[in-house]
Amino acid sequence: MSASMQHTLLPNDASATAMLAVAPLVGTTPRTVKRFVNTYRLLKARADDPAEFGRLQGSIGDHEVVAFLLAVVTGRPTVYQRLLPALVCAPDRQTLQPVLAALAPPAPSPPLPDPPSPLAPDPAGAADPALGDVLSWLARYPRYANAPAHRYAKWAMKVARFSFTPTTADVIRAATPPR
């Protein structure tokens, strides 16, 4: 590897800022953080032009898109399993926030005035704390929330492929349109 390529793959200020921003979503174990950083570097190396990876395109750069997606797949994999197909299928003008918000289960209907049922509440309708974490984070970072979903979809499959999570193959199959 050439010295210029090695220099390109080192985290720069833009990459470091993006990684720090998504840190609350990544997780806290040393192994998780190391996996996040190493996978980020792999994805940067696979960019069409690694030297341009940190430049803004519209309101957000590829470095920020990749950091966000990788943070979600690393720290909140159950959310990513649903987010990936949603990004791939999102309309062209859709932004990230409504795509993520659509992953939330519907609000439970108000109870009917009938006598209470002895059945336990349906756990499928329970709130998803991992999705809540991501939506809460996104509310603090409107540049990410308001960026076009297609910017995330462009990187979503690559992030899934390099994330090394047990269900990545299933997610990729589910998100890949039939030929």
Place of tokens 């994999």: 77
- pLDDT band of 99, cuts 50, 70, 90: very high
Q: Which of 84, 92, 99, 95 is nearest to 155 (CA)?
A: 84
Q: How far is residue 124's CA from residue 122's CA, in Å, rounded to a whole number?
A: 5
Q: pTM to 2 decimals?
A: 0.79
CA distances for 148 relative to 4, 87, 102, angstroms: 32, 10, 15
Q: What's the pLDDT score for residue 46?
A: 87
Q: Which of 150, 136, 135 is nearest to 94 (CA)?
A: 150
Q: How far is residue 153's CA from residue 69's CA, in Å, rounded to a whole number?
A: 10
Q: What does the pLDDT average to over 67-96?
A: 92
pLDDT at 122 over 50: no
Q: How far is residue 118's CA from residue 133's CA, in Å, rounded to a whole number?
A: 32
Q: What's the pLDDT score for residue 128?
A: 86
Indicate the average pLDDT of the chain. Answer: 81
Q: How far is residue 103's CA from residue 4's CA, in Å, rounded to a whole number?
A: 42
Sign for the CA dihedral angle at 61, 64, 68, 70 comes to: positive
Beta carbons of 63 and 16 less than 8 angstroms apart: no
Beta carbons of 96 and 145 less than 8 angstroms apart: yes
The neighbour count for residue 165, using CB atoms within 10 Å, is: 16
